[in-house]
Amino acid sequence: MRRSRWAWGLVATALSVAGCSPEASAPESGEESQLTASLAAAWSVGVYYPVGTQVTYGGRLYECRQAHTSQADWTPVAVAALWLDLGASGGGTDAGTGNPDAGSGSDAGTGGDVIAPTANLTASATRFTAAGTLNLNATATDNVGVTKVEILENGAVVATSGQYSRSFSSWNQNGSYVYAVRAYDAAGNVGTKTVTVAVELPGQPPGGGKRIIGYFTAWGIYGRNYHVSNVPAAKLTHINYAFSNVSADGKCILGDSYADIDKGGGYPGEWDPGQLRGNFRAFKELKRTNPQLKLLISVGGWSWSTHFSRVAATTATRSAFVKSCVDLYIRGQFPGVDPVHGTGVFDGIDIDWEYPVGGGLPGNSNSPADKQNYTLLMQEFRSQLNAVTAQTGKAYLLTIASGASPDLLANKQETKKLSDVLDWINVMSYDYHGAFESTVNFHSSLNRVTGDPGAADGFYSDGTVAKMLELGVPASKIVLGVPFYGRGWGSVPNVNNGLFQSGVPTKGTWDDGSSGLTGVFDYKDIKVNYERAGSGYTKFFHPESKQAYVYSPSSRVWIAYDDAQSMGAKSDYILSKGLGGAMFWELSGDDGTLVDALYQKLH
Exposure string of 317-335, with b = 16+ CB inside 10 Å and e = fewer, is: bbbbbbbbbbbbbbbbebe
How far, in Å, CA of 574 to CA of 419, rounded?
A: 18
Distances (CA, A) of 271 to 254, 333, 520: 20, 17, 39
How far, in Å, CA of 473 to CA of 424, rounded?
A: 9
Beta strands in 200-247 (DSSP E): 211-217, 238-246
How far, in Å, CA of 83 to CA of 61, rounded?
A: 10
- 378 and 351 Cβ atoms separated by less than 8 Å: yes
User: Of 530, 527, 569, 512, which is closest to residue 546 (Cα–Cα)?
Assistant: 569
Residue 238, classified by CB atoms within 10 Å of its CB into exposed (0-12), middle (13-18) or buried (19+), is buried
Integer Rg of the chain from CA: 26
Residue 110 one-letter amino acid: T
Residue 553 one-letter amino acid: P
How far, in Å, CA of 125 to CA of 133, rounded?
A: 9
How far, in Å, CA of 429 to CA of 481, rounded?
A: 5
- 156 and 382 Cβ atoms separated by less than 8 Å: yes
Query: Beta strands 54-57 and 60-64: pairing type?
Result: antiparallel
Q: How many helices (H) and strands (E) does the chain have?
A: 13, 29
- 91 and 121 Cβ atoms separated by less than 8 Å: no
Residue positions annotated with a catalytic role: 354
How far, in Å, CA of 518 to CA of 577, rounded?
A: 33
- 356 and 308 Cβ atoms separated by less than 8 Å: yes
Three-state secondary structure readout of 286-329: HHHHCCCCEEEEEEECCCCCCCHHHHCCCHHHHHHHHHHHHHHH
Distances (CA, A) of 192 to 134, 309, 396, 421, 483: 20, 27, 27, 17, 42
DSSP 195-213: EEEEE--S---STT--EEE
The β-bridge partners of 582 are 212, 480
- 527 and 548 Cβ atoms separated by less than 8 Å: no
